[in-house]
Structure 1
């Protein structure tokens, strides 16, 4: 999961939270085989008509939601800056290590002790560089998780408010490779949700 993009991660998180809706739907619709056997047509019609379900394409939503674009741009810039800083430090260390090897080869140290001291300094620098790399990597991961959490909260909060007037029983996510294999286009509310989220974003950034 470390190699996935923020959008993909957030898609997985939202899909994992909402996937239970599908399980409940299938249980309610197909769980009682005896009752279906008694009145098959009526029961199926009753079950399907009582289920008010909509879905949101999370991939499309995150690609076009202005807040998602803003946060991902900021994260990408931060990631690039850290990468460049680490590369500069690594190149500087490699030069120092190469200079040390050249000095050893040409007998540039007066004593072996002096060479060993210089070698120990290089080892310590290398260790510090590795620690820095790990720390920055962990910080990036924490920033990414916080970004995903912020987007998740914004989206689910809006959907809850949106549903106060629409009264869906379930609003589930549709993601590439997710649990939803087919969704009637009439049940797709992605554009409505996207419009609402971007309207709020525009209002907040006036």
Structure 2
């Protein structure tokens, strides 16, 4: 669960983050008829920064809290399913033990009841899995929104034209100078905002 949620979160954020920030910063820009110089080219390059998404997710308190909450829910759901499954297996074992002494009508009735229970158990499992997947997707959307909303504001305030993401699992950026990394300042601001929110 832990790895699955982190992987989904990373994939979603990496796929959409840069596009959102670029889109935000391109609104209202008009082409200027100027000759590009080495200095202006250098200034443009410096408007590109990156965030290490692995570090961000590892140290972002909001993500850690969400991950813990989802892990606890997954454990409870698994325990509930295991309990239901064990109870059903006991009923099946009890029936198998008593079947030789039961009448044909009783056997048929019991088998039909057990078949219905098995179907109910399968449906319960499917519904629980679907519900959990939906909640996980919803939490990923919230996480993505928190990060991108902050990055849009931060990019505007600092004149960044592009914010890239780096992840060891999905290295879209093969190399970036450390001076372009803004992970720590983004992480500090996100954690501060979340700490304030938790106090309310």
Which of the five TM-score ranges fits, normalised by the shorter chain?
Answer: 0.7 to 0.9
Moved over 6 A (4+): 42-45
Residue 152 of structure 1 corresponds to 144
User: Are the aligned partners of 2:2 and 2:67 in contact in 1 as well (CA < 8 Å)?
Assistant: no
Distance 1:11 1:44, change over 3 A: farther
* Number of the residue aligned with 2:175: 182
The equivalent of 2:83 in structure 1 is 88
| Offset of residue 45 of structure 1 | 7.3
Aligned length: 182
The offset of 1:47, in angstroms, is 4.2
CA distance in 2, matches of 1:19, 1:160: 10
Residue 205 of structure 1, CA deviation? 1.7
Match of residue 97 from structure 1: 92
For residue 153 of structure 1, report the CA deviation from its aligned partner: 0.2
> Where in structure 2 are there 5+ consecutive unaligned residues?
21-35
Could you say which structure has the larger radius of gyration? 1
The answer to whether structure 1 residue 193 and structure 2 residue 186 are counterparts is yes
Once the two structures are superposed, residues 60-82 of structure 1 have per-residue CA deviations (whole angstroms, 9 ceiling, x without a partner) of: 10111111111111111000000
Shift of 1:202: 1.2
Partner of 1:83: helix, strand, or coil? helix
Q: Please state whether the residue corresponding to 2:190 is helix, strand or coil.
A: helix
CA RMSD in angstroms comes to 2.1
Moved more, 75-84 or 172-181: 172-181
Residues 80 and 57 of structure 1, relative CA distance in 2, 3 Å threshold: same
TM-score by length of 2: 0.84
